[in-house]
């Protein structure tokens, strides 16, 4: 059994206030997630460059150590952002489940496409 996918503009024509608020909350969280991912990428970039340079400048075991150190530094430099990102993704998961189970929004395209990503399982039929 397949469900007809509804676009957000079409869904909004008949959506309840609660459904609209949930979509708005999802969009705000998606923007926050993007901003945190961008911050992580900016902080990690110098460490990636360092690891690439290590491979070009040295060979053997020393290059491997420098690469691993650069990766470790990148993880340490972004630990707060990664914690924040996990919190945002957990909120997205809760809202996705609520959208499907409480608000019957499993036919909305964005929910169909993103549910498995955040919840870790397909939308229940």
Distance CA 49, CA 47 (A): 5
Based on DSSP, count helices (H) and strands (E) in the chain, helices before strands: 5, 0
Domain ranges of the chain: 8-119
For the full predicted model, state whether its pTM sits above 0.75: yes
Residue 106 and residue 3 in contact, taking contact as beta carbons nearer than 8 Å: yes
CB burial of residue 118 (10 Å; 0-12, 13-18, 19+): buried
- The whole-number pLDDT of residue 74 equals 77
For 32, residues 6+ apart whose C-beta sits below 8 A from its C-beta are 88
* Nearest Cα residue to 124 out of 3, 8, 14: 3
Per-residue pLDDT of the chain (125 residues; tens, 9 = 90+): 456 899 999 999 999 999 999 999 999 999 999 999 999 999 888 777 766 665 555 555 555 555 567 677 778 888 999 999 999 999 999 999 999 999 999 999 999 999 999 999 999 87
Q: What's the CA gap between 108 and 57, in Å, rounded?
A: 52
pLDDT at site 71: 73
pLDDT of the residue at 61: 54
What per-residue confidence (pLDDT) applies to 37? 95
Q: Quick one: pLDDT at residue 33?
A: 98
State the sign of the Cα–Cα–Cα–Cα dihedral 114, 102, 36, 81: negative
Q: What is the pLDDT of residue 76?
A: 82
Predicted local confidence at residue 1, as pLDDT: 41
Confidence at residue 60, expressed as pLDDT on a 0 to 100 scale? 55
Tokens at 65, concatenated: 């150590």
């Amino acid at each position: 059994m397949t469900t007809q996918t509804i676009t957000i503009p079409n869904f909004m024509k008949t959506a309840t206030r609660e459904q609209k608020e949930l979509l708005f909350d999802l969009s705000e969280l998606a923007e926050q997630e993007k901003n945190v991912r961008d911050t992580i990428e900016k902080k990690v970039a110098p460490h990636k460059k360092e690891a690439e340079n290590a491979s070009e400048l040295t060979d053997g075991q020393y290059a491997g150590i420098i690469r691993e150190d650069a990766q470790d530094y990148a993880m340490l430099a972004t630990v707060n952002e990664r914690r924040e990102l996990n919190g945002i993704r957990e909120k997205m998961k809760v809202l996705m489940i609520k959208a499907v189970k409480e608000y019957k929004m499993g036919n909305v395209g964005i929910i169909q496409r993103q549910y498995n990503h955040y919840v870790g399982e397909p939308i229940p039929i």
